């Protein structure tokens, strides 16, 4: 028999509890049964289930109250898929349970086949959620570049340089053409240090080049004005003091 999911079944009517538990086991599921919602609370706090199937009208605690407390105390990523069983007179409560995060509800009386279909769908949702969390963790491990997804040698070099300058006291000026992603290493560096990181676009680069060309004219103090041009752009970007440069081309 193939194991398909861990199910917690809660119903204060013993005959219904046993019949539903037997049907779920015959379908290959591992089932824990309890007639007490208080006991169900303890079980939910002690172990993990793939699905919680709970009746609404019970003497100690209603199913809606059990769901509300469970949802309030358990992160969504650790929660079982919730299914409410209800009589016709309490459909409103089942809808309220779905607003709290229950996946579906079963209106009593229902056929066993209907139960199995709903449980199968709930377990599929749980599997997809688990797979999604796994894929996200794998992605974060493989591309842990602070929001930058890249494998090229040039981008890895940019990231490496950003990591180096992030540890220094220098103001950082990142240059490059518009659209080359200057903000990505800037955001990465800002996350790791309080230093000032600024991006500069082609228009600003052009201003610096024009000033440098004028420096080559006879009679001009090239070194002095070149330094002044760079400092002017740095001031325009809000930078002060010594500047480290990263090219993003």
- Which CATH entry fits the domain spanning 6-142: 3.40.50.300, 3.40.640.10, 3.40.50.2300, 2.60.40.10? 3.40.50.2300
> In the prediction, which pLDDT does 249 show?
47
Which range of 121-130, 144-153, 163-172 scores highest in mean pLDDT? It is 121-130
Instruction: Measure the CA–CA gap between 186 and 165, rounded to whole angstroms.
Output: 11
Tell me, what's the pLDDT at 161?
Answer: 77
Report the C-alpha gap between 35 and 81 in whole angstroms.
Answer: 19
pLDDT, tens digit (0-9, with 9 covering 90-100), for 8-20 = 999 999 999 999 9
Burial of residue 191, with CB atoms counted within 10 A of its CB: 0-12 exposed, 13-18 middle, 19 or more buried: exposed
- CA quadruple 15, 19, 25, 31: dihedral positive or negative? negative
- Residue-level pLDDT at 191: 52
Cβ proximity of 9 and 31 under 8 Å: yes
As a whole number, the mean pLDDT across the chain is 76
The predicted structure's pLDDT at residue 176: 72
Where does the chain hold its CATH 3.40.50.2300 domain(s)?
6-142
Residue 70 pLDDT: 96
Can you tell me the mean pLDDT for 217-222? 53
What is the DSSP annotation of 9-43?
Answer: EE-S-HHHHHHHHHHHHHTT-EEEEES-HHHHHHH
Q: For residue 93, what pLDDT is reported?
A: 83
Q: Is the pLDDT of residue 131 over 60?
A: yes
Mean pLDDT, to the nearest integer, of 170-182?
70
pLDDT at 62 (0 to 100): 93
- The predicted-structure confidence for 192-210, as pLDDT tens digits, reads as follows 554 444 444 445 555 555 5
**Mean predicted confidence (pLDDT) in 164-176:** 71
Query: What are the Cα distances from residue 136, in Å, to 140, 165, 237?
Result: 6, 29, 36
78-115, pLDDT tens digit by residue? 899 999 998 876 778 878 888 999 999 999 999 999 99
CB 230 within 8 A of CB 211: no
Tokens (6 digits) for 12: 């204060």
Residue 46: is its pLDDT beyond 50?
yes
pLDDT at 152 over 80: no
CA distance 211 to 191: 34
Is the separation of the CB atoms in 185 and 249 below 8 Å?
no
**Predicted structure pTM score:** 0.58
Give the pLDDT score at 233.
46
């Amino acid at each position: 028999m193939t194991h398909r999911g861990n199910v917690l079944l809660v119903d204060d009517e013993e005959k219904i509890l046993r019949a539903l538990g037997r049907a779920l086991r015959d379908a290959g599921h591992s089932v824990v049964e309890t007639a007490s919602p208080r006991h169900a609370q303890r079980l939910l706090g002690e172990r993990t289930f793939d699905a919680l199937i709970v009746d609404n009208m019970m003497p100690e605690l209603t199913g809606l109250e059990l769901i509300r407390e469970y949802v309030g105390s358990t992160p969504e990523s650790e929660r079982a898929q919730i299914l409410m069983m209800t009589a016709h007179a309490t459909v409103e409560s089942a809808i309220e349970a779905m607003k709290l995060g229950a996946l579906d509800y079963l209106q009593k009386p229902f056929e066993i086949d209907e139960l199995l279909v709903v449980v199968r769908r709930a377990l599929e949702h749980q599997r997809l959620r688990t797979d999604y969390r796994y894929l996200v963790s794998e992605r974060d491990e493989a591309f842990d570049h602070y929001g930058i997804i890249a494998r090229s040698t040039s981008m890895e070099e940019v990231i490496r340089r950003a990591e180096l300058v992030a540890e220094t006291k220098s103001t950082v000026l990142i240059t490059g053409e518009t659209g080359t992603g200057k903000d990505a290493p800037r955001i990465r560096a800002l996350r790791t240090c309080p230093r000032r990181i600024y991006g500069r676009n082609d228009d600003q680069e052009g201003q610096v080049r024009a000033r440098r060309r004028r420096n080559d004219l006879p009679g001009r103090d090239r070194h002095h004005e070149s330094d002044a041009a760079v400092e002017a752009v740095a001031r325009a970007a809000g930078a002060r003091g010594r500047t480290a440069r990263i090219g993003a081309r």
